[in-house]
Structure 1
Amino acid sequence: MVEWLGSFGKSKSNGVTRQLYSNEWRCAQQALEKRMKKIGLDVYFDDVGNLFGRLTGSQEDSTTILTGSHIDTVIDGGKYDGAYGVIAGMIAMQYLFEYYGVPKKNIEVVSLCEEEGSRFPMTYWGSGNITGVRTMEDVRNLVDLQDTSFIKAMHESGFGQGEYRQPKRDDIDCFVELHIEQGEVLEREEKSIGIVSHIVGQRRYEITVIGESNHAGTTPMAWRKDALYVASGLIQLLIQKARETNSDLVATVGQINLEPNIANVIPGKATFTIDIRHSEDDVIDRFSMGIFKEFQSITDSHNTELRIKNWMNEKPVKMCEKLIEISESILNKDQTPYKKMASGAGHDSQVFGSFCPTSLLFVPSHKGISHSPHEFTSTEDLEKGIRLLIKVLYELAY
């Protein structure tokens, strides 16, 4: 099923490009719709393109146990990211119905329309609409790199025009997401399952150092206001302090831009990004405040100007302790090696985690590679994840 779903948007390098509201995305959702119907689920879309397969519970007015993940990918991404959670939910529900019949509570598997933000500057569009933190107003003026508007792309895919039910939900009892780790902790520590306790908070900044452009040959070293030289010192300090601060804190500089970016001109402006992550918001606060105080001191000493722009501030999200206990009990009984861990990557579970009780479960990723055609998880590990999901859903719904 992984290979089958990966065929929708398959790239020349054997990766997958399946962006929101593209033809490849639409074909994948339609194929999943047929597959869900084939295994006996009641299937429907909502008005933003989330796809649901439902086992209706025997209890009147019962709430819904929701499982699944996202269908979209980054450009030339892997076959497992998101897709595995959708496939796992379908297999688990088929198994439960065949062996145990109708559940007491409703169970639904969701193929969320979008999580990655790889086509439009918008993430968690699928889960955000279900939980009510995203609305049509958020995408009204968004366009992709080809200048296609978000609204136009959505309409061309048949959504966003009121033909399907509204996405906001108020009947969800809990959300369980099974996902590949996208890191190498589980593989290195020889654990079969990761139980996520927290999804880390993310703070992103744009740092600009403004100096003075001048001739590379005629300006003495002592008189220069070299923005790149100063920025490189800030970056080195950042990484050094992150290593010293906390073993779970990570800081990354992923992008640098120079002006005028000419070989024989001293850079007058250097801009770089900072991504800081940790499971505790106050740790991020203290680190950020401390490092920026030192940044200011350094730029002042070089007669340069410092500008700091905070453009993302995602809070850490704690997963549900009760759901964690259910998974731990199952794994201990089965003598399956597992690890409680924080997730360093963002997932739809962080959106659901502020809305309803949520559990995020990981299976190993080979060498930690993800967002790549080389993304891989063994069939054995995929199966172990699905076996756990089956038992968790049985506890919750039966």
Structure 2
Amino acid sequence: MDIRSSFESLDKKFTSFGGLNGGGITRLLYSDEWSNAVHELKHTLEKEGFEASFDSVGNLKGRIEGSKYPEETIMSGSHIDTVVEGGHLDGQFGVLAALVAMQSLKAEHGQPLRSLEVLALAEEEGSRFPYAFWGSKNFFNLAKSEDVNDIADGEGINFKAAMNNAGFDYRNEDNDYSYIKSFIEVHIEQGKVLETEQKAIGVVNGIVGQKRYTINLKGEANHAGTTPMGLRRDAVVAFSKIATELTDKARTIGDPLVITFGRVDPVPNTVNVVPGEVTFSIDCRHINQEALNDFAKTIDDCIRTVSEQEGVEYDINLWMDEAPTMMDESLVKVVEQAAEQVVGSNDSKMMPSGAGHDSQIFAKYIPTAMLFVPSINGVSHNVTEETNIEDLVKGIEVLKQVLYQLAYEE
């Protein structure tokens, strides 16, 4: 079986579900595009000899039963949804890579000793509704109906209504995941590290922790021409100082610490009024919990100090506080060895993931590992998202070697 042609054929087919005229995909949870994609995937799995089934919320599994240890399952996959005007690789590559790798193993070696499962998780992105990891959180019985009962998408469609319309419903009993021995996720990097360092494979040792804030500063709106500089309580000036000071501190500390000010909403946001209020976001990430906590204190201290200097009031809302998640050490070694066999020891890199992935949910419950392939120019969540086909094939080949070792060897 030719891995490249098999992947390209599948990728072309599934990119058409939600495919955009200018390239890329919009495939949001429980949309028609999403529904058509998952049902076609189920049909494809069944045609290839997998036993395929949905759970109550729409996670899809395709299973090859093991001959000697069927109760021990090696699972691989990713999410099937996309962001709005996203690319064809984020999520989808991990699902199709698992399918192609397992197809190839079955063709070459027959039935595995341990069971193999492809997993297409219903949702990870949080793009349609303000809730992320719906698929993996349901997989591990973490999601609650009350978390989503009252939320709606941008068109006002209620979460439950959309779910029911797609033919799914809330989980009516807990899933059993005790049979899963290992979970492996392959993903595009969504960054420039591998491309810059000319590495073909990233062996992920952990996923960064994240702290996300909404900060509100209140000063005093006033006339831009008649209010002297020394008498102003300018909320945007205070924000600017906070952003500059924290960015400088983060650069001094260095990688892998990152801080981002992604959203800024000044009020009244007009040319001739001193802005009296500003609300902005902070996204801070690090692979080490202690370092992340230390910088969180720096954030609090900086906001308080600058606000006092500028005469503005402040409110700090820490609404996301996700701890770093480390991958299973023994599985990381398996991925590292497989990468060495496929691309050589000098063409892979041990690295953390700066983005969140389903694996961070899985790793809390079962042994989990991830591997990355490069992203051209580091672009993702964009219709121009792309990876060289040679690198995609190398990723599938590494995954195939990992699955062989885990499912076919004693």
Aligned with 1:175 (options 167, 180, 183): 183
Taking the TM superposition and a 5 Å limit, the aligned residue runs for 1:64-143 are 64-143=73-152
Deviates more, 1:192-201 or 1:264-273: 264-273
Kept after mapping to 1: 8 A contact 2:327/2:368: yes
Aligned with 1:243 (options 229, 240, 251): 251
Aligned with 2:40 (options 1, 20, 31): 31
RMSD: 1.5
Equivalent AA in structure 1 for residue 80 of structure 2: I
- The alignment status of 1:392 with 2:402, answered yes or no, reads yes
Kept after mapping to 1: 8 A contact 2:342/2:394: no
- The alignment status of 1:254 with 2:262, answered yes or no, reads yes
Task: Give the whole-Å Cα distance in 2 for the aligned partners of 1:146 and 1:331.
Answer: 45
Kept after mapping to 2: 8 A contact 1:45/1:165: no
Q: Give the deviation of 1:136 after TM superposition.
A: 2.4
- The alignment status of 1:223 with 2:223, answered yes or no, reads no
- The alignment status of 1:271 with 2:285, answered yes or no, reads no
Aligned with 1:325 (options 320, 333, 348): 333
- Deviations, residues 209-244 of structure 1 (Å, cap 9, x unaligned): 110111222222211111111111111111111101
Task: Give the whole-Å Cα distance in 2 for the aligned partners of 1:192 and 1:245.
Answer: 28
User: Secondary structure of the equivalent of 1:374?
Assistant: coil
Deviates more, 1:60-69 or 1:385-394: 60-69
- The alignment status of 1:197 with 2:205, answered yes or no, reads yes
User: Secondary structure of the equivalent of 2:71?
Assistant: coil
Kept after mapping to 2: 8 A contact 1:206/1:308: yes
Aligned with 1:310 (options 314, 318, 324): 318
Structure 2 residue runs of 5 or longer lacking an equivalent are: 1-9
Task: Give the whole-Å Cα distance in 2 for the aligned partners of 1:279 and 1:68.
Answer: 23
Identity %: 44
Equivalent AA in structure 2 for residue 140 of structure 1: N
* Structure 2 counterpart of 1:156: 165
* Structure 2 counterpart of 1:368: 378
Task: Give the whole-Å Cα distance in 1 for the aligned partners of 2:318 and 2:282.
Answer: 9
Task: Give the whole-Å Cα distance in 2 for the aligned partners of 1:294 and 1:114.
Answer: 36
Taking the TM superposition and a 5 Å limit, the aligned residue runs for 1:9-20 are 9-20=18-29
Task: Give the whole-Å Cα distance in 2 for the aligned partners of 1:173 and 1:132.
Answer: 18
Q: Give the deviation of 1:63 after TM superposition.
A: 2.1
Task: Give the whole-Å Cα distance in 2 for the aligned partners of 1:142 and 1:387.
Answer: 41
- Deviations, residues 248-295 of structure 1 (Å, cap 9, x unaligned): 100000000111222221111011111000001111111121232132
Task: Give the whole-Å Cα distance in 1 for the aligned partners of 2:72 and 2:287.
Answer: 30
* Structure 2 counterpart of 1:4: 13
Structure 1 residue runs of 5 or longer lacking an equivalent are: none
Shift in CA distance, 187/271, structure 1 to aligned 2, threshold 3 Å: same
* Structure 1 counterpart of 2:6: none
- How many residues are matched? 397
Kept after mapping to 2: 8 A contact 1:48/1:167: no
TM score, norm. by length of structure 2: 0.94
Q: Give the deviation of 1:4 after TM superposition.
A: 1.6
- The alignment status of 1:378 with 2:388, answered yes or no, reads yes
User: Secondary structure of the equivalent of 2:308?
Assistant: helix
